[in-house]
Structure 1
Amino acid sequence: MTTLCLPPLSLYVHIPWCVQKCPYCDFNSHAQKGEIPEREYVQHLLTDLQQDLDRLKDSVQDRCLHSIFIGGGTPSLFGAESIHQLLQGIEQQIPFSPNIEITLEANPGTAEAERFKGYVKAGITRISMGIQSFNDEQLQALGRIHNAEEAKTAVQFAKDSGLNSFNLDLMHGLPNQTLPQALDDLRQAIVLNPPHLSWYQLTIEPNTLFAYRPPRLPDDDELWDIFEQGHQLLTEAGYQQYETSAYAKPDFQCQHNLNYWRFGDYLAIGCGAHGKMSFTTGEILRYSKTKHPKGYMRGEYLYEEKNVPEIERSFEFFMNRFRLLEAVPKIAFEQFTGLVQSAVQKQIDFAIKQGYVQETHEHWQITQHGKLFLNELLELFLPD
């Protein structure tokens, strides 16, 4: 097997509890019942990490963490002291790079000014807030526990807390949403001037409340109008689209997500977390953790792991890389998959004929047309 170059290394931490389950949410989240065992869970996270570092030592050795993302659930249900203990415990086990990005997901309904300042003191450099909409009726339909005013207050807390950056999550294509309503949401977000905006379309996922009782969503023509005019609004406001659903002011892209899309490596701890690790010997390993807090809190951390066979690697690589709008270095394909370029040349040639991709001597670049037909483009790389 070909040797691999090791990409940057990140860490994903999953905190599974939330105040209540939203009807569109298919993440591994569990509505809070009684007091959350914060301290106990942090200890389990650190033990989980130690076991990963022992198990994956051939890959982890001499590497430092490029970014950490604490997601959920609602991680901001945990106090600053617990987050401080967690980050301190992680750094004792694996070194941080000097300019590490550390993101915490927060719900505006759980935001307080002092809490945000506490997170910054604990080591958080970036907060990602699930705003979703500034329309109170839409927020109720989405099962959110905050209103528009609370969302704006939470953004002000983020601005005043000394963070390096913060992100607002905003959705479009909401139940019965009109074009003016969708654009009004965006305009209100732009006025708040976040360095980063994740703006994505609501999709109905299996095993969610919306899957059992589907709401009326805008049709394809309405969705296209929302996207086209919304994209123009964001661009005029100085935001650059760098990924399918992500916009940022210059130099404020989310480094953690960039590492995912560039086929980087990431350790994963916490209920239902998914990790990917490369080895210089040529293996690529994917693994996941026990989903339910009860099993996880019994110390049953690892759920399953599997090696990614060479036949699946080109699909996995392009499934990630073509979400980004930047050019794909051909050398990165070889270094991070262990495959040679000729292994995908036939598919690339066909993609070029279809107008999905452009090619230079050193890069492949997805086109505007390719973005619209992303699924068709990716299907070319599926194993026969």
Structure 2
Amino acid sequence: MPPLSLYVHIPWCIKKCPYCDFNSHAVKDGAPEAAYIDALLRDLTEDVRRYRITRPIHSIFIGGGTPSLFSPEAFDRLLEGIANQLQLSDAIEITLEANPGTFESQKFAEFRALGINRLSIGIQSFDDKFLQALGRVHSSNEALRSVDIAQQSGFDNLNLDLMFGLPGANKDSAVNDIRTAISLAPAHISFYQLTLEPNTYFHRFPPKLPNDELIFAAQKDCQALLAAHGYAQYEISAYSRPGRQCRHNLNYWQFGDYLGIGAGAHGKISLALPENIVRTFKPRGPEQYLADTHRQGGVQAIDRQELPLEFVMNRLRLKQGFTLDAFTETTGLVSAALEPGLSGNCRQNLLIRQDNRYFCSEKGWDFLDTVLQNFIT
């Protein structure tokens, strides 16, 4: 069976950002911490029982929303409850997403003492003009302060989230943000383009964005700057120091398995290859989730004809691509199931084969949608 991770979703945040399409809800009178931790642990108990989980957990990712709104006491109870039900690997990676507007020295020192050993900080930009345009609740000074507090609290494994293609940006805007991020010496930088997703405020009332040529040029300049400072791109929007890739997200992209608990959380579990690989999902609404977590949600089997596309959609996000052995090991299918997409993409110079490994060419990397389209039968 593939490696197994755990995703925990905490849906509340201080304010709903106009570009955000995640399952997040602005908190009004305080989040129901105790009741939600109870619900998460009931949810986990049901998943462990239903899917007969005995494999060790290699990573935990606590996302949102803004999980850093919760107290250290809440996470202490959550992590203890998880450890009571699951076998945790000795070198487990535990990531917590955090908003710069929620940082307090004592609080984050306690997070670190609980065993949370990786922070992902949603900076988005170090420029107040762009932070205001994005509807963020923090300032550039708070962004800088959050990194300092994290490092002083003992977190040496930091990810900084940054966006490019922002309203009113010029070619130098993203480069300035990347320069600032590099100066703070995080282990990892996530750098992705602002997109206007359906069911968001920005989709209904679109801001004026830079043209595609400017966005592409800024992206290339930033990628060169990151590479020059030792941040290797290993995924479409992820750059890291050597050995500091996000192990949890790598498991997603390598088509590994993961339990998903919390309001709106999704999971993927391999019960038998290839005929019984399932997607799981939980109720999106926090109120519905709190009311009946152990019986709500659903399960959907992945049709074996869809497995090749599901596999390449994930693996080709990675610079290293995949081997045919990896395809067979995670899907249970023979490599012929990848044809004619594999050979067709190679003929078009969208994929490269090297030492029995397939990965995107520079052209394929820029036109990944075309690459994937060739795998649709």
TM range (shorter): over 0.9
Count how many residue pairs are aligned between Structure 1 and Structure 2: 375
Is contact 1:81-1:122 (8 Å) kept?
A: no
Which residue matches 2:84? Answer: 92
Residues in 2 aligned to 1:361 and 1:30: alpha-carbon distance in whole angstroms: 48
Displacement of 1:361: 5.5
Deviations 1:195-248 (A, max 9, x none): 100000000000100011100111110011111101011111110000000000
SS at match of 1:315: helix
Residue 54 of structure 1 is aligned with which of 49, 52, 77?
49
Please state if 1:44 is matched with 2:36: no
**Secondary structure, in 3 states, of the residue corresponding to 2:340?**
helix
Alignment-derived partner of residue 257 in structure 2: 265
1:74: how far off?
0.2
2:155 maps to 1:167: no
Contact 2:168 2:210 in 1 (8 A): yes
Structure 2 residue 77 is the aligned partner of structure 1 residue 79:
no
Matched, 1:255 2:215: no
Q: Which has the larger displacement, 175-184 or 48-57?
A: 175-184
The residue identity in structure 1 corresponding to 2:89 is S
TM-score normalised to the size of structure 2? Answer: 0.98
- Between the aligned partners of 2:197 and 2:348, the Cα distance in structure 1 is 30
Give CA deviations for 1:162-182 in whole Å, capped at 9, x if unaligned: 124010000000001111111
Paired residues of 2:100 and 2:146 also in contact (CA < 8 A): yes
Pick from 7, 17, 36 the counterpart of residue 12 of structure 1: 7
Secondary structure at 2:167's aligned position in 1?
coil
Match in the other structure for 2:23: 28
Distance across 1 between alignment mates of 2:172 and 2:342: 40
The DSSP-based 3-state class of the residue aligned with 2:220 is helix
**Equivalent AA in structure 1 for residue 126 of structure 2:** F
Aligned-pair distance for 1:360?
A: 3.9
> What does residue range 211-290 of structure 1 map to in structure 2 within 5 Å?
211-280=203-272, 282=274, 283-290=276-283
Identity of aligned residues (%): 48
Q: 1:72 to 1:89 in 2, by over 3 A?
A: same
**AA in 1 matched with 2:109:** K
Moved more, 348-357 or 299-308: 299-308
Choose the corresponding residue for 1:139, options 131, 134, 138. Answer: 131
- The whole-number CA distance in structure 1 between the counterparts of 2:308 and 2:321 is 16
Counterpart contact for 1:9–1:265, Cα < 8 Å: yes
- 3-state SS in 2 of match to 1:286: strand
Amino acid at match of 1:198: S
1:354 equivalenced with 2:352 (yes/no) = no
Alpha-carbon contact 2:273-2:332 (below 8 Å) kept: no
Give me the CA root mean square deviation.
Answer: 1.0
- Please state whether the residue corresponding to 1:279 is helix, strand or coil: strand
Query: What's the offset of the Cα at 1:40?
Result: 1.1
Query: What is the CA distance between 1:66 and its match in structure 2?
Result: 0.4
| Superposed displacement of residue 281, structure 1 | 5.2
What amino acid is the match of 1:255?
R
**1:151 match: secondary structure:** helix
- Aligned partner of residue 305 in structure 2, secondary structure: helix
- Structure-2 separation of matches of 1:130 and 1:147: 12
TM-score norm. by structure 1 comes to 0.96
Cα deviation 1:362-383 (Å, max 9, x = unaligned): 321221111011001011122x
| Partner residue in 2 for 1:369 | 363
Q: Is the 8 A contact 1:326 1:365 kept in 2?
A: yes
Conserved? CA contact 1:331–1:362, under 8 Å: no
Shift of 1:344: 1.5
Partners of 1:280 and 1:214 in 2: CA distance = 45
Report how far residue 137 of structure 1 moved. Answer: 1.1
Partner of 2:287: 294
Name the amino acid aligned to 2:283.
T
Query: 1:84, CA displacement in angstroms?
Result: 1.1
**1:86-132 deviation digits (Å, cap 9, x = unpaired):** 01100100010000000000000001111110101111010000000
SS at match of 1:297: helix
Question: Shift of residue 358 of structure 1?
Answer: 1.4
C-alpha distance in 1, partners of 2:184/2:238? 17
CA distance in 2, matches of 1:181, 1:206: 26
What secondary structure, in the 3-state scheme, does the structure 1 residue paired with 2:101 have? Answer: helix
CA distance in 2: counterparts of 1:368 and 1:13, whole angstroms: 35
Instruction: Measure, in 1, the Cα distance between the counterparts of 2:293 and 2:178.
Output: 43
Per the alignment, residue 338 of structure 2 pairs with 344
Once the two structures are superposed, residues 53-77 of structure 1 have per-residue CA deviations (whole angstroms, 9 ceiling, x without a partner) of 11111xx22x110000000000000
2:192–2:237 contact (8 Å) kept in structure 1: yes
In structure 2, stretches of 5+ residues that fail to align are none
- Uncovered stretches (5+) of structure 1, i.e. residues with no partner: 1-5
Shift of 1:346: 1.8
Q: CA deviation at 1:345?
A: 2.9
